[in-house]
A and B are shown apart, each in its own frame.
Chain A
Amino acid sequence: AIQMTQSPSSLSASVGDRVTITCRASQGIRNDLGWYQQKPGKAPKVLIYAASSLQSGVPSRFSGSGSGTDFTLTISSLQPEDFATYYCLQDYNYPWTFGQGTKVEIK
């Protein structure tokens, strides 16, 4: 199975900060990667798919990049509603695998 290594596992940031989360695949996965946001007590929500495609309705401050093994989620200007846990997910082949998650907390 493809291993997804996500970093950092947590970070503290202030409103307005630029935040970057990375995900590394144990083998090449083309651009078959998505980013999901989860708030406490809620189901996850897709932000980005195919590494860089913004899901409809998601604010443009979210962006994704990368291909092959290294991927990045960037929040250009952190907003209060962005404090949550973020996960990457590879859908290149089965079994699909998630990263361990990154908890974004208020500084």
Chain B
Amino acid sequence: EVQLVDSGGGLVQPGGSLRLSCAASGFTFSNYDMHWVRQAPGKGLEWVSAIGVAGDTYYPGSVKGRFTISRENAKNSLYLQMNSLRTEDTALYYCARGNYSVSGSHFDYWGQGTLVTVSS
């Protein structure tokens, strides 16, 4: 059974740092692109980052230069290092697996989310 378990969230002051983790099981982790998606309280979904099987990384402008996505295939783990945190980064952060096929791509499995609160 495919499982993604998010962890590492918490309360942090503006300007601080936090590292999120996503533990994957039930599939060959190294074969899949992985993503982070966040949702601020009462708001919509925002794609945050992606890492390909070759280690290529992608970010939106809102987090580029502050967040770093990484993966450790030997540990079936995905990470998100978040630096210079702002109050607007407060959100529930989900990891998600990217499923790519000839017909298209989508997120087929999601973690349960881990809550990050940036506040003084």
Docked-complex contact A87 and B45, CB < 8 angstroms: yes
In this complex, how many residues of chain A approach chain B with their Cβ under 8 Å: the count is 26
Q: Mark A32-65, 1 if CB is under 8 A from B, else 0.
A: 1010101000011110011101010000000000
Q: Residue A50 contacts which of B58, B59, B94, B103 (CB distance < 8 angstroms)?
A: B103
Docked-complex contact A34 and B104, CB < 8 angstroms: yes
Helix, strand, loop or mixed for chain B's interface?
Answer: strand
Given contacts A95-B58, A98-B44, A101-B45, contact A46 B108 (CB under 8 A): yes
Docked-complex contact B106 and A96, CB < 8 angstroms: no
User: CB-nearest residue of chain B relative to A85?
Assistant: B44
28 contacts between A and B (CB under 8 A): A31-B104, A34-B104, A34-B105, A34-B107, A38-B45, A43-B94, A43-B110, A43-B111, A43-B113, A44-B94, A44-B107, A46-B106, A46-B108, A49-B103, A49-B104, A50-B104, A53-B104, A55-B106, A87-B45, A91-B105, A91-B106, A94-B50, A95-B58, A95-B60, A96-B50, A97-B47, A98-B46, A98-B47
**Is there a chain B Cβ closer than 8 Å to A100's Cβ?**
yes
**Is there a chain A Cβ closer than 8 Å to B61's Cβ?**
yes
Chain A nearest CB: distance from B69 CB in Å? 12
User: CB-nearest residue of chain A relative to B98?
Assistant: A91
Q: Which residues of B contact A (CB under 8 A)?
A: 35, 37, 44-47, 50, 58-61, 94, 103-108, 110-113
Docked-complex contact A1 and B60, CB < 8 angstroms: yes
Q: Which of A55-107 contact B (CB under 8 A)?
A: 55, 87, 89, 91, 94-101
Docked-complex contact A46 and B44, CB < 8 angstroms: no
B59: chain A residues within 8 A (beta carbon): 95
A100: chain B residues within 8 A (beta carbon): 44
Q: Residue B106 contacts which of A38, A49, A101 (CB distance < 8 angstroms)?
A: A49
Once the chains are docked, how many angstroms separate the CA of A103 from the CA of B50?
27
